[in-house]
Amino acid sequence: MAVGNPSKALSPYICSSCSRSLKLRSRKFATAASPDIYDVVCVGGGPAGLSLLTALRSSKATSHLSLALVESQDLDRAQKWHLPPDQYSNRASSLTPSSQSFLSQIGAWSHIDTSRVQPYQHMRVWDGLSSTSRISFDSPAPEPAIAHMTENQNIIRALLARLDSLEPISLLDKTSITDIHLGPPPSSPAPEHASLNLSSYPHVTLSSKHTIAARLLVGADGLNSPVRTFAGIQTRGWDYDRHGVVATLKLSSESSHNPENPRGVTAYQRFLPTGPIALLALPGPYASLVWTTTPTQAARLKSLNIEDFIATVNAAFRLSVVDLDYMFTLSSGQLSELQWRESVSPNTSAEANGDIPAYVTSVQESSIASFPLRLRHASSYTTHRTALIGDAAHTIHPLAGQGLNMGLADSKSLASAVEYAITHGADTGSEMNCLDKYNIDMWMRNNRLLGAVDKLHWLYSVKSGPVVPFRGVGLRAVDALGDLGLKRWFMRQAGGL
């Protein structure tokens, strides 16, 4: 463009070798003096980062911004992601109504493959130790679902499809970051003419050796966020000494969805002393398992053969905590152990009225995985020209299924702060004029959620003592007060409304 022009215009007068060297020299000068400058550079193409870029592109006020996405994975593969209808990814999330409405608002929901989405109307939550305490959440049929279960890949693919339908952004995928630094200080003495001073702009050096500068650098780059490290933002939190075991399960056919049988559209969660086990319905007879437990038990679960794994999951929703603990001491034979115990004390009433999930009959091949659980919260989400969203800003215990929803809420908030800044002529990298709005909007809200979920975790890890009967009373009270609005409030919290 501007670089190519002088030699082109002069070409009739200069020999070709000279014009080539002129071109080379001017190009070198151009890159040294000014890297490509983007309004927003987002590092990380997960649901949080992609939804932010989609939100910015689909809003009229911000659609003209220059956007870049840096992602180490191959986005082409994410866009072509496809699984047959009898297979589901083991990373699924429960989308709250507010997440869903955000995805609709930015035009991504219509790209979701709805045949792979399962809305659920009911929740059954109970305590593993005080067996009488149980809480039921039911959203009556005409009301919207409590939440929608779907695979993270389905959401990512929809966001990429939506982005594809908008004005193109710079997609720098299969690209990692080698360095982030601030731009050079302004030359002194100051030159006569106004020259660009990028000393406050983060410069991102990519694995392609290319450097790009950002008016606003967004870290959507996960737990070990390089952007957060660059910004010098501390995180606080701890490791739970727990692992999350996930798997895609197939349930016995009686769980197939119909209005007469609500079992297929119910989310189940039982609080065991080692951590909660949750079964969340996917379409058809499929369900997603998230079992939070000790690293030892997680390792045992992963070492079992398929029949015994299935039996242990079934036992975790049915047997007493003492019996379950005993099953974990066995290296195999959980299936016959469960069959024997159930023949002695059958769970007939709970089975009949759908208070516990249907039997798991099979596990999708190689869908069992585990990951360590942590709580992390960044001390701030912003510094000058930097903002953190999603897991880079916070990592939450999965027991409330809020991780992905929190990331989407961050994106929504940051996009609206940027939109306000743009319509009021503010510099979108400025904390005072733009980013503070996002930090104030989300930090306390997320901190409350992180704290509440953390307290639930500790409350239910207590095995004995005075707190155990009380938490049962608490759950029962919440259940009984359903008509007085307290339960409604709990459901709203779960739904993120």
Partner 1 sequence: MAFRPTALCNLSLLLRQYPRRSYSSSTSSVSLTEVSHFDKLASSWWDPNGSSRLLHQMNPLRHDFISSCLDSQPEPPSIAKRRYLDVGCGAGIFAESAARLHSTESVLALDPSSEVIAVAREHAQQDPLLLQPGRLEYGNKSIEDLPTPKSSQDQFDILTLFEVIEHINQPAPFLCSCLPFVKPGGWLILSTIARTWMKLAYDKGCGRGGGQVGAEGTHDWKKYVNEEEMRSFLGGWMGGGVMGGVRSQGVVFVPGVGLEGGGWWGEVGELFLWG
- Chain residues in the site for partner 1 (CB under 8 A): 37, 61, 64, 186, 190, 194-200, 215, 420, 422-427, 430-433
3-state secondary structure of 243: strand
Torsion of CA 185, 188, 191, 196, to 10 degrees: 10
CB-wise, 61 or 350, nearer to partner 1? 61
| Calpha distance 397→412 (Å, rounded) | 22
**CA-closest candidate to residue 447, choices 488, 415, 402, 411:** 402
Residue number, 139 or 211, with CB nearest to partner 1: 211
If one counts every other C-beta atom within 10 angstroms of the C-beta of residue 444, the result is 10
Q: Give the phi and the psi of residue 242 in degrees, each rounded to 5.
A: -135, 150
Which residue, 37 or 486, has its beta carbon nearer to partner 1? 37
> Quick one: DSSP state of residue 432?
I
| Closer to partner 1 by Cβ: residue 196 or 306 | 196
Residue 414: CB minimum distance to partner 1, A: 17
Query: Minimum CB separation from partner 1 for residue 444, in Å?
Result: 15
Q: What is the DSSP letter of 65?
A: S
Go through 393-412 and write b for each residue having 16 or more CB atoms within 10 A of its CB, e for each that does not.
bbbbbbbbbbbbbbbbbbbb
- Considering beta carbons, is residue 72 or 430 the nearer one to partner 1? 430
Q: How far is the CB of 432 from partner 1 (least distance, A)?
A: 4
How far is it between the farthest Cα atoms of the chain?
99
| Shortest distance in whole angstroms from residue 192 CB to partner 1 | 12
What is d(CA 174, CA 370) in angstroms, rounded to the nearest whole number? Answer: 25
How far apart CA 15 and CA 13 sit, in angstroms, is 7
State which residue, 432 or 480, has the beta carbon closest to partner 1: 432
State in angstroms the smallest separation of the CB of 431 from partner 1: 7
- CB crowding 329-346: b at 16 or more within 10 Å, else e: eeeeebbebbeebeeeee
How far apart are CB 460 and partner 1 at their closest, in Å?
A: 38
What is the Cα–Cα distance from 126 to 138, expressed in whole angstroms?
A: 15
- The DSSP-derived string for 143-187 is SPPSEEEEEHHHHHHHHHHHHHTSS--EEE-S--EEEEEEPPPPP
Q: How far is the CB of 29 from partner 1 (least distance, A)?
A: 17
Q: Which ranges of 425-466 would DSSP assign to H, the alpha helix?
A: 436-461
In whole angstroms, the minimum distance from the beta carbon of 378 to partner 1 comes to: 20
Beta carbon nearer to partner 1, 207 or 423 = 423
Of 36 and 342, nearer to partner 1 (C-beta) is 36
Q: Closest CB to partner 1 among 173 and 427? A: 427
Nearest residue to 71 (alpha-carbon basis) of 181, 222, 209, 228: 222
Q: How far is the CB of 438 from partner 1 (least distance, A)?
A: 15
Which one, 209 or 424, has the nearer CB to partner 1? 424
CB of 196 to partner 1, least distance (A): 6
CA separation for the pair 139, 315 (Å, rounded)? 28
